Chain A
């Protein structure tokens, strides 16, 4: 995925690997960020409609994000080892949709897969593109745990900055004028 924006094809599918959720890490994440009784207390959780301890949906999502970042670095390493220059991934402007479908219980193994569903150059940030990705998380029984529609920034390789922008950039580097320009910008 750390490919240049231009090299990413719609429909490209990236397996991101799997993670087994232990009771200890479910409780730890719950205590830090989502201390509802069915995320932190195995005994009290028996009274919930889950019937036992389940991971916070945000826990399964952040672990999925970690798997995505690791896959980006692995791809970067692979490209460099082939003597090619990898692309640049930027931050994310948001998530269009996230649906938690099945609970994750201690011992469950969740497998994450990312599919590129769309891309376009950014309107707000010159030189960058937006990638639209679908992330699916499935447990060891093949049940969908969550699916998400994610958006991420990716740098353009072939971008030629328009002359007026290049001029403006050069002017902002001048000490006095630069301060005035960036203050107004």
Chain B
């Protein structure tokens, strides 16, 4: 038994359709510029004039910052409450609308699928539909995340017909 995660919810405690409210974060100009300097130094993430002249139409957060802030919210609201074993990746990440200075982003993650790993019976794989919106309710980012979760009781056989 993993002492770090033994009191947390495990794979068996999760259900398809569970909705996690990830809370909200307000994105300041300082946050945008400091993230961009480190990870995404395109002029349209650093400079207001360059941003106005770009496709974004104004100073906007790096899409990777929107993702990182959303991940932080998902960690606090969900991943650190379950016996997470880390992410496997994601698919269909869409940056639907730029996140501008002063925007408040938040949203939900919904469990879309749950399955056991065939090769590692102690692991479950969950997928989450991540829906992040701004304060006007407009979608800014969507994606489907895949994450590993520990099973409490790996001795239970895989359900007949279940595919890994």
Chain A interface (Cβ within 8 Å of chain B)? 32-38, 44, 47-50, 54, 56-58, 61-63, 65-66, 69-70, 73, 89-100, 103, 125, 128, 146, 153
A44-B4, A100-B86 given; 7 more Cβ-contact pairs under 8 Å: A57-B89, A58-B71, A93-B95, A94-B95, A96-B92, A97-B90, A98-B93
Cα distance A97–B5 when bound, in Å? 29
When the two chains form the complex, which single residue of A58, A92, A100, A128 contacts B95, counting CB atoms closer than 8 Å?
A92
Shortest beta-carbon contacts, A-B, top 3? A95-B93, A33-B68, A99-B89
Contacts of A90 in B (CB 8 A): 54-55
Given A36-B79, A58-B67, A91-B95: A47 in contact with B38 (beta carbons within 8 A)? no
B85 touches A48 (CB 8 A): yes
A91, B54: Cα distance in complex, Å: 9
Contact A146/B71 with A37-B4, A69-B40 known, Cβ cut-off 8 Å: no
Given A44-B4, A47-B2, A92-B95, A34–B54 Cβ distance below 8 Å? no
Task: Decide if B94 is an interface residue (CB 8 Å cutoff).
Answer: yes
Residues on B with beta carbons closer than 8 Å to the beta carbon of A57: 86-87, 89
Interface of B is mostly: mixed
Question: CA of A47 to CA of B92 in the docked complex: distance in angstroms?
Answer: 32
The one of A32, A65, A73, A100 that contacts B72, using a Cβ cutoff of 8 Å: A32
Flag if B88 contacts A34 (CB, 8 Å).
no
Query: Among A32, A36, A47, A93, which residue has the most Cβ atoms of chain B within 10 A?
Result: A36
Give the residues in chain A near B92, CB-CB below 8 Å.
Answer: 94, 96-97
Q: How many Å from the CB of A46 to the closest CB on chain B?
A: 9
Residue B98, interface by CB 8 Å: yes
| Min CB–CB distance B99 → chain A (angstroms) | 11
Shortest distance between the CB of B74 and any CB in chain A (Å): 9
A125 to chain B, nearest CB (A): 7
CB B61 to nearest CB in A, in angstroms, measures 11
Nearest chain A CB to B41 CB, angstrom units: 6
23 contacts between A and B (CB under 8 A): A33-B71, A36-B86, A38-B86, A47-B2, A49-B85, A58-B64, A58-B87, A61-B64, A62-B68, A65-B39, A66-B40, A69-B40, A91-B42, A91-B98, A92-B63, A92-B95, A93-B94, A96-B92, A97-B90, A98-B89, A98-B93, A99-B89, A100-B86
